[in-house]
Structure 1
C-alpha cells in the first residue's frame, strides 16, 4: 500500500500543493495556484505547437532572414513570439517577457525585473528549416535570476516536458491537459559507457576535447547527437548522462532546460559548479554549462579543470 501511495503522489505532484516558495509567493499575488498556472501554460503550448507544425509543413516555402548574429529568422519565429508573449503578459501574475525576438525597447528595463518569462519561440530554427523534427518551443519562469519553471515543447512529438524546481518534472501529451507522466533523472551506474550529448553542428575538435576529458574519468564514452533543447529532455529521459556546452548560445536556449533538468533531479551548473543566473548581466549570452542526470558527479570539475 505504501508503494502505491508513493507512486500516486509522484504522478500527481502538479495537482498538489506547490513546494516552490518563490513560485508560491509569486502566484499568491496573482491569486493563482500551481494547477491553474500549469493548465493555462499547457493550453498555450498546445496552441503554439499546432501553429509551429502548420509552418513546419511548408518550411521550404518560408522566407528566411539573417539576423545581426547571422542566425535565421522565419515567419514561424515571429508568429510564435507574438502568440506566446501576448498570452504570458495577459496572465494574472502579469510578468514581463524576455524573448529571443524581443526588440531593445521591450527589454530596456529588464535588469529591474525581479521575475520574468524567458522564452525562445522557436529553438532550432536551422533544424526547423532543414526538417529534422528536432526543434522546440522553450518557456521558462525566472525569479530572482533563477529558473524555477521550465517547459520544452516538442511539436513533432506532440509533447510538453515540464519541470518546477522542488516539485518535480513530467511529460504531458498535447490536448490531454493535466494528464501527465512523472519523470526523474537516472544515476550513472559504472562500468556502463557514459553517454554525452552533442549536436552535429558543434565543432568536431571541441566535441573531441570534451569526450577526452570524460574518457579519462569514465573510460568508455559514447556520443549521442541531438538538436536544440531536445538535449535537455534526453538528459531527463535517461537517453544520455551529460550535456556539456562550451560553444556560444543564449539564455533563452538554456533557462527552460535548466529548470526541467533540476526539477527532475539532475543538475545544471556553470564551469565553476555554480547555479546559472539569468537576466543578471549586460550580455544575454549564456555561460558555458553542464547539464547532468546524476547530480552526485562533479562533471564541471571533470570537464573544465585546467581549461
Structure 2
C-alpha cells in the first residue's frame, strides 16, 4: 500500500471527527463511566462513528479496532496483518476538565508496527501526521503546514509527562534522570511535543492501551524519534492483551 495516496483522506476524516468533538465540547455535555470507571462522553461515540465510516470508505477491506468500537475476539484479530487502530478521543479526562488537551488519533498498523499516524487537536485546530520512513508534518491553527523533526537534547533535559497520570513510579524514574525541566501535557500531545522539538523524552511507567499511543508513535518515529519498552524493544501492536508495557518515547538521543 502507498500511504501517501490515502494520507490526505485520513486527515480529512480526522478533521471531520475533530469538528464533531469540538461541537460537543462546547455544549453542556454529560459524562458517563465505563466498566473500568474511565469516563466517556457523546464526543467519544460521535468521533468513533465518523472515523469508522470514513475509514471504511477509504479502505473497506482493512479492519478497524477502536476504543469505542465493538470488542473483537482474539481469534479474529490474531490473523490481522494490517488494521486501523483509533482512539476517537484520547484524553477524555482532559475533555471533561475542559483543559483543551485532548486529541483524535488514527493509526494504520502493519505487522505489529504503526506505519501511518494522524493526530488532530480539536480545540486548537492543529494537526500532526507522519508516515514512517517518509517524514512528519504539523499544521498550525492558521492552516500553515511544515515538516517537523526531533532535535538533539540540550541541558536541562526537557521531560514531558502526563497531567492526570503522573504516578510515583514515573516520577521516581524522572528524578533519576538528573537535571531536567518538567513539561506536562495531556493525551498523545506528549509524543507530538517531542516530534516537533519542544521536548526530549516521555517516560510512561503506567497503564496505557494500544489505541492511546499508536498514532502519535507513528508521528514521532516518522520525525526521527523512538518509542521503546524498558528493555529497548520497539513498542508492538496487535497483541492479545491490548495493554502496553511501560515505555520511553524519545528524540532518539536519550
Match of 1:286 among 210, 226, 244: 244
Mapped pair 1:56 → 2:19: no
- Of 186, 189, 212, which aligns to 2:151? 186
Partner of residue 239, structure 1: 198
Is 1:255 matched up with 2:214? yes
CA contact (8 A) 1:46 1:175 kept: no
* SS of residue matched to 2:120: strand
- Tell me which residue corresponds to 1:65: 32
1:199 to 162, 165, 172: 162
Note the C-alpha offset of 1:173: 4.7
Q: Which portions of structure 1, spanning 4 or more consecutive aligned residues, are displaced by more than 4 angstroms?
A: 105-108, 173-176
1:143 corresponds in structure 2 to 110
SS at match of 1:284: coil
Q: Deviations over 1:236-260 (max 9, x none)?
A: 1222110000110110001111111
1:1-307 equivalences under 5 Å are 26-27=1-2, 34-58=3-27, 61-92=28-59, 94-105=61-72, 109-173=76-140, 180-189=145-154, 192-215=155-178, 220-280=179-239, 282-293=240-251, 295-297=252-254
Q: Structure 1, residues 160-184: CA drift from partner, whole Å, max 9, x if none?
A: 10011100000135795xx621000
Normalising by structure 1, what TM-score? 0.78
Tell me, in whole angstroms, the C-alpha distance in 1 between the residues paired with 2:224 and 2:34.
36
Taking structure 2 as the reference length, the TM-score comes to 0.94
1:203 CA displacement = 4.2
Gaps of 5+ in 1: 1-25, 28-33, 298-307
Query: Where does residue 8 of structure 1 map in the other structure?
Result: none
Which residue of structure 2 lines up, in the alignment, with residue 19 of structure 1? none
Greater strand percent: which structure?
Answer: 2
Question: 1:95 Cα shift?
Answer: 0.7
Normalized per residue, the structure richer in helix is 1
